[in-house]
Structure 1
Amino acid sequence: MSYVGPEFEPAQPRRPRRGPLTVALAALVPGALLGWMVYEAVGGGTGGGSDRAAATASPSGSAAVSSSPSPTDDGKGASGAAAGSGSLKGKVVVIDPGHNPGNFQHAAEINRKVDIGTNDKECDTTGTSTNDGYTEARFTLDVAHRLSALLQKQGATVKLTHDGDRPAWGPCVDERARIGNDAHADAAISIHADGSAAGNRGFHVILPGSVHAGAADTRKIVGPSHDLGTRVAGAFLRDTGEPPSNYLGEGTGLVTRTDLGGLNLSTVPKVFIECGNMRDSKDAALLTSGAWRQKAAQGLFDGISDFLNAQRN
């Protein structure tokens, strides 16, 4: 994800990794039992991840990834075994594929400022890419299609914020939030990949902080969004083997922010995920693999379905 300018953000300083025990203990998602289950499933963990901001909270461990890179595998809506328990019929999920492949050609439009409650911010940004030119926008839309297929297979109603059905840029961050709000989504997720320095690895989930300013009021969604985020982080770790960020979140895989319009303006439970760092060769090899992207979609599905099913109880 690129938050600054038309190109890529500057590299961020690395933070020290936490040891396996620290990361495992951080995975006490809603409670000790779930954390123990995640730790046992993965066998411990190390740090790893992507993005910029202050850290908080929790998931854990890591596992070996066996998929081999395959940059040409872009299967839209690819199939995969749905692992969630119970039907998702009646549930609404909004998927927000970060950025848009056409943003590079529409600098004036995406640089237009919009109100995000706390301040004005650019409508959107270009996103990042791997060193070989595989773009974040292409990655996010592919994972969104795969995730959508898994959710629909379990009966969920799915809406994407964009899917080739609009002009070749955007939508703006305020509109992305509004789409989830208007759909009365039970859960919303914005999919991204980071553009940090080489050597910075891993995923992190961005949670909304408490904001009450202007058009933004996240106070009612902070709690459920934290629950959604911790479940997504635990499942993503387990299903993909990608470690939590080694440069943000202090090994927890969770980061809280109050400067993102897509979260500030949301009135439904919502999180962002940075699935890995496109500028690191090891992460790039995963992000460009269709097989790994299917694992990423499965991890997102498992976390979201776990959250949705928990809401029924």
Structure 2
Amino acid sequence: MQWIMKRSGFRNHLFPPDKLDHWAAHPRAPHASAPPAVARRKAYIIRTDLDGRPVYEVVPKRMGDGPRRGHMLYLHGGAYVRPLVPFVHWPFIVRLASTLERTVTVPIYPLAPEHTYRDVFPFLLRIYDRILARRSADTVMFAGDSAGGSMALALCHALRDAEMVQPSAALLLSPWLDVRISHPDAQAVARLDPALNIEHLREAGRRYAGGAPPDTPLVSPGLGPLTGLPPLTIFTGTHEVLNPDIRAFRRRAAAEGIDMGWHELDRGMHCWMMTPGVHTRAAFDAMRRDYGLPVVSRESREEP
């Protein structure tokens, strides 16, 4: 898959600067990001709206009528500029919900360049308030992939600064922790990464920051203070350009005496846990172990 993506030039077509300029000049309406039939076959998915934006509630059918382990707020990736991709994100979200035996809220948050981080967090704080009106924080976790993983961590910073209660945990999948992608090793890894163009990422991050310093914790949450955060678990791969900054974040946390769940796949690409294959199955097994759930046998496993 990585070879095919490199040969196709995939990483150069996602959000080049001219596309960002077009979106800024011609603002997009909130994307419906409606779940496809393949996701609805395995989960009950209900749409509500907040401030004119879709918010989806997911209840996996595989959980049946038994007790649920809790709830998850899931934030999709897309470099802050692209909407949820229905045929990529929805099957993964439903599988994640079934794996961790949780219901899930999936908000369709404001995107850059039409919006900045200043628009995103008031919206997400209202979403979290709405979740807490029905559930205790100790039954709620945050999760997200790529920019969504970064946003999940940044939301924890926002909660701490607002003196609001934290969730029980945060699961960060290939998180974009520093919009500058500033680690000295990043340029070498960029040559290996089949999915992400480092310069296009930096420009998308600049638009998302909206003139704020790029080390602002809500923009680059990996650079923010580590106190007052919930337990963190990170998945990353050595062939993603974000990996050097993710490793640096782990080292800083360790130096401050903070342990975290850590799963790094050698030669793993960006968001490898969302792609088909044996590594993905191993990632879901690891997630169950990390959150105190028994690993499901291969014979009884339901694949997406």
Q: TM-score, normalised by structure 1?
A: 0.33
Q: Considering only CA atoms, is the larger Rg found in Structure 1 or Structure 2?
A: 2
Q: Which has the higher helix share?
A: 2
- Which gives a bigger RCO, structure 1 or 2 (Cα 8 Å, sep 6+)? 1
Q: TM-score, normalised by structure 2?
A: 0.34
